[in-house]
Amino acid sequence: MDEITKVVRDYIIREYVQEGDEQEITETTPLISGGVVDSFSMVSLLRFLEKKFAIHIPDSAATPEAFDSVERIVALVRRFQKAEVGSV
Amino acid sequence: MRAPPSCVEITSNLSWNVAEEELGHRPGDPINIGWMCSDRICQLGLANKLALLWEDYQGNKKQFTYDEVRILSNTIASFLCKLGIRPQERVCLFLDRVPELYIGFLGILKMGAVAQPLFSAFGDESLMVRLADAGTCAILTQKKHLYKVRKIRDLLPNLRHVIVVDAASTSLQQHEIAFAMEGVPPVEHFKVYPTMAESPSVLHYTSGTTGQPKGAQHVHYSIIAQYLTAKWALDLRSDDIYWCNADPGWVTGTSYGIIGPWSNGITQVVLDSGFNAVKWYEFIEEYRVTVWYSAPTAIRLLMKEGGEVAQKHNLSSLRHLASVGEPLNPEAILWSQEVFGRPFHDTFWQTETGCIVISNLPGITIKPGSMGKPFPGITATVLDPKTYEPVNRAGVAGLIALRPGWPSQIRSYWNNPAGFEAKFKNGWYLCGDRASIDRDGYFWFMGRDDDVINTGGHLVGPFEVESALLECPAVAESAAVAKPDPVNMEVVKAFVTLKRGFQPSDDLELDIMNHIRKRLSPLAMPQEIEFVNSLPKTRSGKIVRRILRCKEFNEPVGDLSTIMED
């Protein structure tokens, strides 16, 4: 598991998985459709990603689909990391 | 042969007696929603008709006929009776959208207790406040939510039973009981408690400007209005497959996610899943959904994903679309016409009304952006905010008001009759919203008349958020107001002053957001936190949210003469 994946997964487990919930969070576990992350909670997750990885993710890219698994979130982070590098 | 009358023609002569006759209810006789929605449907010869088709996000599926709903709700009712729960005691449903929620709701009502559904995403503080106020004696929950109940258990002396519906591998503590609805002997016959028209049925909590949430007290007679409005405003017909997106933790999810469809003997589908556009379209396609009752926030999220996602699916089964929760913007109606080939019909009502009171009935000419017209049998107007007299002039804004007396109007707020009385002025019930009426009698929503925040169709009380904000060690003072949002109409924004020694930072903002999300709910989490040096206050020291809200909406702040200069 690479560093970005680990950071995202650990954060989701720490902040969103409830105590006593036996659900395992893998890279492909449905987060929004699976009810782990509510669509209202996406804002705080977005803030975390932007701060942790020093990127800006526009609202148009922050869709429930793009946040629906660790794997997709990591892809989103990578996409905007490249954009940040490209804009320098 | 004369064509059948349109819905508009039918409803123009409405008397609520129509519903009494169709439901076979005679004034003075017992009336029980649980029985009406299960046993009565079986007696009509529909025992083998599907009542519920259920699926979760993992693709697990279950289905229940009306006879199975009847027997399983008997089983739950009998179980609750054996625990010693008595009629009129409050039994909370703190469950995701699992079958036990829908069937348990009927079971609670059948044994005469009061069903208190609560949104399962609530945090422990939100749960505690509502259970304590209601003096709830039992709670049905799932093992995934048990930790929240355990956190507050010692603070709730009236809570005698914690019933876990999926406790198979969970070690339970004292006063926690495992109950597997489909794993215990079914109860074929149960003597339904003879509740009367005015017997309490459902307690839904709703937020106000001041104080903690209020318990809106519904009665069994509400079914008269819920049955008829589901039939006419949602256009439910015997062969429909109906999907209501709402969670029964909120009033739409009980009035039109349980009582409305099942009292009409309709087959309904439930998807226990968060939002996912592709999954939703697949669901409609697979189950051949014909009537879809959704919400503007969901529609705008679908719009955000794009019409091409919808066009990859066969959605031709859809016959009637309706929406509730907040005003439906004209763009959403036009988009729906383009993508689904038919418009969403906006409906307006609230926890306190129990049923749709203003709507775009099937067959009406829709004016995109309008709430529609009063449902026949409902007298609605807008009042001058100073005199509380009807405005009687087209296009002039006033307070939306209803003449009391429709069947599903709440009878009071739990433990708070004064709060309920305060909702009435000059013989009218005030909804707390502002609107205007045009020359054709259509209502046009203009906004709330108070500080309550309508986010994604759910009301959030600022007081509750502010109280939770003050629990954060860094926060000295706080104000929670609505901020406009393109998807949710409004979201919560918090203004915060910090205690000495604390500095604004991104980390602090995130900590505060997460605190509110876990303590209250994701809905109540501020989507933005602005750190300020001071908050606007009256000379007596009361924080004036109005000024902050007006700035967010770019509206004039009005009279500032009572505001203390900083």
**Is A18 close to B148, i.e. CB distance below 8 A?**
yes
Chain B positions touching A15 (Cβ under 8 A) are: 514
Tell me the pLDDT band of B1, cut-offs 50, 70 and 90: very low
Q: Is A10 on the interface with B (CB under 8 A)?
A: no
B524/B450 Cα distance (integer angstroms) = 17
Tokens representing residue B226 in the block = 């819920």
Tell me the pLDDT band of B565, cut-offs 50, 70 and 90: low
**Is A38 close to B143, i.e. CB distance below 8 A?**
no
Chain A positions touching B304 (Cβ under 8 A) are: 63
| pLDDT tens-digit map of B495-523 | 999 999 999 999 999 999 999 999 999 99
- Can you give the pLDDT at residue B562? 62
CB pairs under 8 A between A and B: 85
Closest residue to B57, CB basis, from A35, A41, A65: A35
> What parts of chain A have a pLDDT lower than 70?
19-22, 84-88
**Is A19 close to B147, i.e. CB distance below 8 A?**
yes
| pLDDT tens-digit map of B189-218 | 999 999 999 999 999 999 876 778 999 999
Cα angle for residues B344, B527, A17 (degrees, 5° grid): 95
| pLDDT tens-digit map of B14-53 | 789 999 999 999 999 999 999 999 999 999 999 999 999 9
Q: What is the DSSP letter of B544?
A: -
What's the pTM value of the predicted model, to 2 decimals? 0.89
Closest residue to A33, CB basis, from B96, B276, B517: B276
**Is B510 close to A51, i.e. CB distance below 8 A?**
yes
C-beta separation of B66 from B40 below 8 A:
no
Q: Is B510 on the interface with A (CB under 8 A)?
A: yes
The fold of B453-552 is GMP Synthetase; Chain A, domain 3 (3.30.300)
Q: What is the CATH number of the domain that holds A48?
A: 1.10.1200.10
Confirm whether B7-434 and B453-552 share one CATH topology.
no
Kind plus residue range of the DSSP H or E element containing B64: strand B61-65
**Is A35 close to B274, i.e. CB distance below 8 A?**
yes
CATH C-level class of B7-434: alpha beta
C-beta separation of B23 from B224 below 8 A:
yes
Give residue for tokens 């952006």.
B369
Number of folded domains that form chain A? 1
Tell me the pLDDT band of B139, cut-offs 50, 70 and 90: very high
Residue B302, pLDDT above cutoff 60? yes
With b for 16 or more beta-carbon neighbours within 10 A and e for fewer, the B161-197 pattern comes to bbbbbbbeebeeeeebeebebeeeeebeebebbebeb
Residue A10: CB atoms within 10 A of its CB come to: 12
Residue B285: CB atoms within 10 A of its CB come to: 16
| pLDDT tens-digit map of B340-374 | 999 999 999 999 999 999 999 999 999 999 999 99
Mean pLDDT, chain B, rounded, equals 93
Query: At a CB cut-off of 8 Å and minimum separation 6, what does B125 contact?
Result: B468, B519, B520
| pLDDT tens-digit map of B155-174 | 999 999 999 999 876 689 88
Q: For chain A, how far is it from start to end, CA to CA, in angstroms?
A: 29
Lowest-confidence region among A14-23, B2-11, B414-423: B2-11
**Is B510 close to A47, i.e. CB distance below 8 A?**
yes
Closest residue to A34, CB basis, from B57, B121, B507: B57
**Is B273 close to A68, i.e. CB distance below 8 A?**
no
C-alpha distance from residue B279 to each of B284, B295, B305 (Å)? 9, 17, 12
Highest mean pLDDT among B139-143, B173-177, B485-489: B139-143
**Is B276 close to A30, i.e. CB distance below 8 A?**
yes
**What share of residues in chain B are helix, strand, coil (percent, to 5)?**
30, 25, 45
Chain B nearest CA to A26, separation (Å): 14
Domain locations in chain B as residue ranges: 7-434, 453-552
By three-state DSSP, how is residue B185 classified? coil
- Can you give the pLDDT at residue B171? 85
- Can you give the pLDDT at residue B240? 98
**Percent of chain B topping pLDDT 70:** 96
Region B133-154: mean pLDDT is 95
B408/A83 Cα distance (integer angstroms) = 55
Residue with the larger pLDDT of the pair B384 and B458: B384
**Is B507 close to A64, i.e. CB distance below 8 A?**
no
- Can you give the pLDDT at residue B11? 52
Chain B positions touching A43 (Cβ under 8 A) are: 513, 525, 527
Give residue for tokens 């031709």.
B316
| pLDDT tens-digit map of B62-100 | 999 999 999 999 999 999 999 999 999 999 999 999 999
Q: Is A56 on the interface with B (CB under 8 A)?
A: no
B255/B223 Cα distance (integer angstroms) = 8
Tell me, yes or no, whether A51 lies in a domain: yes
B325/B301 Cα distance (integer angstroms) = 14
Residue B175, pLDDT above cutoff 90? no
Q: Is A15 on the interface with B (CB under 8 A)?
A: yes
Closest residue to B305, CB basis, from A30, A32, A63: A63
- Can you give the pLDDT at residue B100? 98
Q: Is B145 on the interface with A (CB under 8 A)?
A: yes
C-beta separation of B478 from B471 below 8 A:
no
B413/B295 Cα distance (integer angstroms) = 26
Region B527-539: mean pLDDT is 90
- Can you give the pLDDT at residue B339? 95
- Can you give the pLDDT at residue B354? 98
Tell me, yes or no, whether A23 lies in a domain: no
ipTM of the complex: 0.86
- Can you give the pLDDT at residue B457? 84
